[in-house]
Amino acid sequence: MGPSGPGKSTLMNLIGCLDTPTGGEYWLNGQKVSDLADDELARIRNKEIGFVFQTFNLLLLADEPTGNLDSTTSQEIMQVFADLHAQGQTVVMVTHEADIAARAARVVTVRDGLVATDQQRAA
Is 69 part of a structural domain of the chain? Answer: yes
Q: How confident is the model at residue 58 (pLDDT cuts 50, 70, 90)?
A: low
Averaged confidence pLDDT in the chain: 86
Residue with the larger pLDDT of the pair 113 and 56 = 113
Q: pTM for this one?
A: 0.57
CATH number, position 108: 3.40.50.300
Predicted confidence at residue 25, as pLDDT, reads: 92
In degrees, rounded to 5, the angle at the alpha carbon of residue 39 between the alpha carbons of residues 33 and 41 is 30
Q: Is residue 2 part of a domain?
A: no
Domain span including residue 106? 8-120
pLDDT at 18 exceeding the cut of 60? yes
- Number of other residues whose CB lies within 10 A of the CB of residue 33: 19
Has residue 102 been placed in a domain?
A: yes
Predicted confidence (pLDDT) at residue 23 exceeds the cutoff of 70: yes
Contact call for residues 118 and 106 (beta carbons, < 8 A): yes
| Domain count across the chain | 1
Q: Inform me whether the pLDDT recorded for 56 exceeds 50.
A: yes
